[in-house]
Structure 1
Amino acid sequence: MGIKSFLASRKNQNKITNDVPLRVSDYMTTKLITFKADERIDKVIDALIKYKISGGPVVNDKHELIGIISEGDCIKQISESRYYNMPMNDHTVESCMVKNVETIDGNMNIFDAANKFLESKHRRFPIVENGKLVGQISQKDVLKAAMGMKGNNWK
């Protein structure tokens, strides 16, 4: 006795797949809070609190990325200011920011970006195109992308 299949022929079925990789540029933030090198640290701290962010890119007048300033950088300034009993008014972003900034490509797969976060321990990566800051991807953006793919095949 042979086995009978009651299913239709499978040759012509349309297979639904998600072959398009999820790119960083699909999930990056483009409306950024940015800072200038000559801004005072207390103004940066006010902005971090007001906008509930943990840091942001530092750009010049041509919107080129020149550094990153974070909560940790600001806390370090507060600590040193208190230790030396000096006011923070003299401190600018330029004296506190990280100048050697690691960026990633907007065309990178979102899951490759997740691995980059794990390897580097950074909380955010700026995306630069043609020398200009175009966006930023954060760990939270990667989480949102992953939750949006819940139940699908990740590629």
Structure 2
Amino acid sequence: MITVEDAMEKNVMVFKVEDRISDVAEILRKNKISGAPIVNNDQIITGIVSEGDIMRLIEVHSPQINLILPAPLDLIELPLKMQHEFDEISKGLKKASSVMVGEIMTKKVISVHKEISISDAAQIMDTKKINRLPVIDENNKLIGIVTRGDIIGAMGKKG
């Protein structure tokens, strides 16, 4: 039986609740990962953040313009509408960059112990529609993380 311990990544990128979203987003992008656990000073998981959580911060507005047969007023107002939309997106990005990760993280985190099988971990991910599972020890401290990719990779090594 292949366990989560066999498949998990032990070097886990983590964040603190007071980290700014703009910094978190940049670190996730640079490291090509889509999410990470949030831990306290004792390495106990307090939440998890994903690209989806960050994306929900940014509201995208689109101007209502009749593109097939624009009215003359639409053509006159188009530059004004576009500037307004740009200003709204700019405001949204500025607001998002000042938010702390603790404000948007998922607080109810599903985690697993290292002894469970990867097939059980895969079933949890599928049932709960999540992409990653933090792995904890008997004291609830973070010791690793297993992703869908890790499970698929471990299954490939089986044969």
* Residue 144 (structure 1) shift: 0.6
Segments of structure 1 that go 5 or more residues without pairing to the other structure are: 1-20, 151-155
Is 2:155 aligned against 1:121? no
Partner of 2:145: 136
- Superposition map of 1:1-150 within 5 A: 21-79=1-59, 82=88, 85-86=91-92, 87=94, 88-129=96-137, 130-150=139-159
* Residue 26 (structure 1) shift: 1.2
Say what the alpha-carbon RMSD is for the aligned residues. 1.6
Higher RCO, 1 vs 2 (CA within 8 Å, ≥6 residues apart): 2
What SS class does the counterpart of residue 74 from structure 1 fall into?
Answer: helix
Which structure would you say has the larger Rg? 1
Q: TM-score, normalized by length of structure 2?
A: 0.76
Q: Is the 8 A contact 2:136 2:142 kept in 1?
A: yes
For residues 51 and 89 of structure 1, what CA distance do their matches in structure 2 show?
19
Taking only the aligned residue pairs, the percentage that are identical comes to 32
